[in-house]
Amino acid sequence: MPVFDATPDLASLPLVRDHVLPLAADAGLDPAALPRLDLVLEEILVNVANHAYGGRQGTFEVECAVRDGQFCCLIRDWGAPFDPLAAPAPDTGTTMEQRPVGGLGILLVTTMSDHCRYARTGEANELTVCFALRHDTG
Amino acid sequence: MEFSSSKHGDKLVVTVAGRMDAITAQEFDTQCRQWLAAGDTNVIADLSGLEYISSAGLRSILSAAKQLKGAQGSLAFCNLSGMVEEVFVVSGFAAMFTMHPTLEDALAG
């Protein structure tokens, strides 16, 4: 599948969606899972936009593939090494008054995807998120 | 994202439709400041028309809720479905906020 690349900013958000969601639909991802994929892509892109390059110019790319019955997206940037999956999970059991604003993006990535993995490969951060494809249709 | 609102006694019912994402979410916070400026502090958000919400949306909602609480008000929700309901459950927002299945329940509560 073609690789998408752009600068990590909010303007790229609709472009990433328009690239990835049709690929996922063509690959047979359950329509009910598409909003979860949409969400996971946004959270990762916002994370890259806010943290990867510390204000410097940079790029990211999204590479999609079907592998082992899953639709997978690899999101790659060349910023400082950062494993978002290593961050401690937020406390989701507090009252509204005690609850800090923010910090929920990665929790949504890990719970809404079926599988995710981080790797530092050379100079790149590579975050792979996968969604199971259903096999009961045919 | 689109908003419309109507008064029901001392409660302001706000219907939110569309996508609450990193691009649009700030609008919820902005709307909240307008409710406060108009003296409306007890708000019920009807999310039946909301198709999508991300952590940016949750951030804006929590910020608005804290402002309303600071004015001795409240923020409750009704009519969640699909991925919006899922995101509220996963994030703990469904347990943290007053949730109603329907607007009728919200107005009675």
What tens-digit pLDDT sequence spans chain A (138 residues)?
Answer: 999 999 999 999 999 999 999 999 999 999 999 999 999 999 999 999 988 998 899 999 999 999 999 999 999 999 999 999 998 889 999 999 999 888 899 999 999 999 999 999 999 999 999 999 986 544
Structural domains of chain B sorted by starting position, each given as residue range(s) with its CATH number in brackets: 2-108 (3.30.750.24)
The answer to whether the CB atoms of A107 and B23 lie below 8 A apart is no
Tell me how far apart the alpha carbons of residues A104 and A84 are, in angstroms, rounded to a whole number. Answer: 12
Instruction: List the A124-132 sheet strands across, edge first.
Output: A4-6, A60-67, A70-77, A124-132, A115-121
- Return left, alpha or beta for B19; rule: phi > 0 is left, psi -120 to 50 is alpha, else beta: beta
User: Could you count the other beta carbons within 10 Å of the beta carbon of residue A36?
Assistant: 22
Give the one of A38, A95, A107 whose C-beta lies nearest to B91's C-beta. A107
Bridging pattern class, strands B2-8 and A124-132:
unpaired
Nearest CA in chain A to B53: A39
Residues from chain A contacting residue B95 (CB–CB below 8 Å): 92-93
The answer to whether the CB atoms of A46 and B87 lie below 8 A apart is no
Beta strands in chain A (DSSP E): 4-6, 60-67, 70-77, 115-121, 124-132
Structural domains of chain A sorted by starting position, each given as residue range(s) with its CATH number in brackets: 4-132 (3.30.565.10)
pLDDT in tens, B25-71: 999 999 999 999 999 999 999 999 999 999 999 999 999 999 999 99
- Which residue type is seen at A18? D
Nearest CA in chain A to B95: A93
User: Are A7 and A59 a contacting pair, CB within 8 Å?
Assistant: yes
Bridging pattern class, strands A60-67 and B42-53:
unpaired
The answer to whether the CB atoms of B69 and A96 lie below 8 A apart is yes
Say whether residue B20 is in contact with chain A using an 8 A CB cutoff: no
User: Could you count the other beta carbons within 10 Å of the beta carbon of residue B30?
Assistant: 12
Say whether residue A93 is in contact with chain B using an 8 A CB cutoff: yes
CA end-to-end span of chain A: 23
User: Are B77 and B99 a contacting pair, CB within 8 Å?
Assistant: yes
Give the one of A38, A107, A112 whose C-beta lies nearest to B52's C-beta. A38
Average pLDDT over residues B6-15: 96
The answer to whether the CB atoms of A43 and B54 lie below 8 A apart is yes
